Amino acid sequence: MKLTAPCFHNGGTARMNDVMKFYDEGGDFDNPEKSSLLDRIRRRSDDREALVDFMTHGLTDCRVEKQRAAFDHPSLPLPNSVSGDLPAVGAGGLGSYS
């Protein structure tokens, strides 16, 4: 999480603390059609800090962050007969493995 900012589908927040604030406040703006089940998350500030610390540091592999083996240059080896494009689903791109 530490290395993948910005956050959300539109890159709307730069920091994990902003993500927590978004959820703590129940979103960015009021929406009359929003379900009452989607209420604010009420969290103590020290709980928020601990969660942000975990999301930022606890889920980041230090080998990736420091570009050390075995994660310094991730790659996906391709068979010699493959041109470089792989179908997204299954060998035929049709949702099957054949």
Averaged pLDDT in 10-residue chunks for the chain of 98 residues: 84 88 82 79 82 88 79 67 59 52
- Identify the pLDDT of residue 85: 61
> Which pLDDT belongs to residue 28?
81
Total structural domains in the chain? 1
Supply the pLDDT for residue 57. Answer: 87
pLDDT at 94: 57
Asked, for residue 60, whether it belongs to a domain, the answer is: no
Q: Where are the alpha helices (DSSP H) in the chain?
A: 16-24, 45-53, 62-65
- In 3D space, the residue among 76, 55, 70, 47 whose CA is nearest the CA of residue 3 turns out to be 55
User: Is 43 inside a domain boundary?
Assistant: no
Task: Using CA atoms of 36, 37, 38, 40 in order, give the dihedral in degrees to the nearest 10.
Answer: 90
Assigned domain for 11 exists: yes
What is the reported pLDDT for 44?
Answer: 79
pLDDT at 53: 92
Which structural domain range is residue 4 located in?
Answer: 1-28
In a domain, 13, yes or no: yes
